[in-house]
Amino acid sequence: MSSSAPIVLLLHGPNLNLLGSREPEVYGTATLADHVATATATAAELGLTVEDLHDALAAFDGPIVELHLSNPNAREPWRHTSVVAPVATGTIVGFGGTGYDLAIRAAAAAMAG
C-alpha cells in the first residue's frame, strides 16, 4: 500500500480493551485487536490506511463516524445521549463487529464526496 493513501483515524472509547471478555452477550467475543484488524482489512480493500489512535476529536477536519457495537438506544437511558453525535457525520449502532467494516466504508464514501 502506498504511503500516500488517505488515512482513517480509528479512535476508541473507554474500556474497549475488555472486549472479548466484558459482557460477551452484548459486545461479542471478538477483541479490540480483532475489530482493528477488520477495519484495517476493509481500509486496505478501499485504498485507505488505518491509524489506530486513542486521541480526542477536537481538531479533526474530516468525516467522523461514530460506532457502537451494541445499540445504546436499546439499553439504559443514560446511554442514549452521545457526546460524539453533535460532531459526527453519521452513526452506526448495533451491528456488533460488522460495524467496523460499515464504518470504514461510510468514512470512505464521505471522503469521496
pLDDT tens digits along 44-56:
999 999 987 744 5
Q: Is 27 a catalytic residue?
A: yes
Q: Is residue 50 part of a domain?
A: yes
Encoded amino acid at 105, one letter? R
Which of 35, 68, 80, 100 is labelled catalytic?
A: 68
Give how many domains the chain has, as a whole number: 1
| pLDDT tier, 57 (very low <50, low <70, confident <90, very high otherwise) | low
Tell me which residue range forms the domain holding 102. Answer: 7-112
For residue 63, the domain's CATH number is 3.40.50.9100
Catalytically annotated residue among 27, 54, 80, 100? 27
In a domain, 2, yes or no: no
pTM: 0.69
Tens of pLDDT, residues 15-36: 888 889 989 998 899 999 999 9
Q: Is 80 a catalytic residue?
A: no
